[in-house]
């Protein structure tokens, strides 16, 4: 893998920001059987498949590398990984702050397509994330189903209108929403399940621990998906809101992704 920390100016944010990008490389280091960037699974003349991998509320664009072996896992699949930074925005255009939803849904994929040799075809584009990032992944998939072949949420905050972060939220709700409704909006994922055409929705994967404080939110999402005939691969298994859980989850997600030619 070629690993890059990319620093750049984001027009939609009006400031500089960063992302970490992993690109497949034809290489054979000791103990590794690297995927060939030109002949690996899913590779086309237009570029390699790409996974947008989203961080949680307390994290940044480096966290997936520091807490898991995502580089090694992605190497085995021959897939590029883009890990952006959105701070504590909940992947929203903040009421008092920056336009992170515009950034992650519009500007970021355009920048990635111009800069890296990744495919922009729907069938080669995936998104996943944990906690706040799980919400972001399903928000992208449900609001832009034409862009993604699959999306995965790991311990996601999937029922935002009911979300209660207790003392850990600080001024988050005031800064991000400032009294704006969350029900019936692009942030209401459970509500969106009843508004989308089930046949248009990307493949969805949900994983959450039964001891996770967000387990009830995930159960409500599972029930709503079943009610509205939205195809969802889900599992609730023993585990908490912790990296030991997500490190296994992301490996399972990569195995599940419908990467062409695999």
Domains in the chain, number: 1
Q: Is residue 250 part of a domain?
A: yes
CATH of the domain at 55: 3.40.50.1820
Domain holding 26, by residue range, is 2-256
Q: Is residue 261 part of a domain?
A: no
Is the predicted pLDDT of residue 38 greater than 50, yes or no?
Answer: no
Q: Is residue 180 part of a domain?
A: yes
Distance of CA 134 to the CA centre of its chain: 6
Q: What backbone torsions phi and psi does residue 206 show, to the nearest 5 degrees?
A: -125, 130
The pTM assigned to this predicted structure is 0.94
Q: Which residues contact 150 (CB under 8 A, 6 or more apart)?
A: 126, 127, 141, 202, 203, 204, 205, 256, 257, 258
Tens of pLDDT, residue by residue over 170-188, are: 689 999 999 899 999 999 9
Q: Is residue 239 part of a domain?
A: yes
Q: What three-state secondary structure class fits 128?
A: strand
pLDDT band at 243 (very low <50, low <70, confident <90, very high): very high
């Amino acid at each position: 893998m070629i690993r890059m920390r990319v620093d750049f100016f984001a027009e939609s944010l009006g400031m500089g920001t960063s992302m970490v990008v992993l690109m497949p490389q034809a290489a054979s280091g000791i103990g590794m059987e690297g995927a060939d960037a030109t002949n690996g699974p899913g590779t086309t003349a237009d570029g390699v498949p790409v996974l947008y991998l989203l961080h949680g509320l307390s994290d940044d664009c480096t966290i997936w590398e520091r807490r898991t072996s995502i580089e090694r896992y992605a190497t085995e699949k021959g897939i590029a990984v883009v890990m952006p930074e959105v701070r504590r925005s909940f992947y929203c255009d903040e009421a008092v702050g920056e336009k992170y939803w515009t950034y992650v849904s519009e500007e970021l994929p355009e920048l990635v397509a111009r800069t890296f040799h990744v495919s922009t075809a729907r069938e080669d584009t995936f998104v996943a994330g944990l906690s706040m990032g799980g919400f972001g992944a399903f928000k992208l998939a449900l609001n832009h189903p034409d862009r993604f072949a699959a999306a995965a949420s790991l311990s996601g905050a999937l029922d935002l209108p009911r979300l209660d972060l207790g003392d850990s939220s600080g001024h988050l709700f005031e800064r991000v929403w400032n009294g704006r409704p969350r029900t019936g909006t692009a942030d209401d994922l459970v509500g969106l399940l009843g508004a989308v055409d089930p046949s248009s929705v990307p493949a969805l994967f949900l994983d959450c621990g039964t001891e996770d404080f967000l387990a009830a939110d995930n159960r409500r999402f599972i029930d709503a998906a079943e009610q509205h005939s939205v195809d969802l691969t889900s599992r609730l298994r023993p585990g908490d809101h912790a990296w030991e859980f997500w490190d296994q989850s992301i490996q399972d997600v990569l195995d599940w992704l419908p990467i062409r030619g695999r």
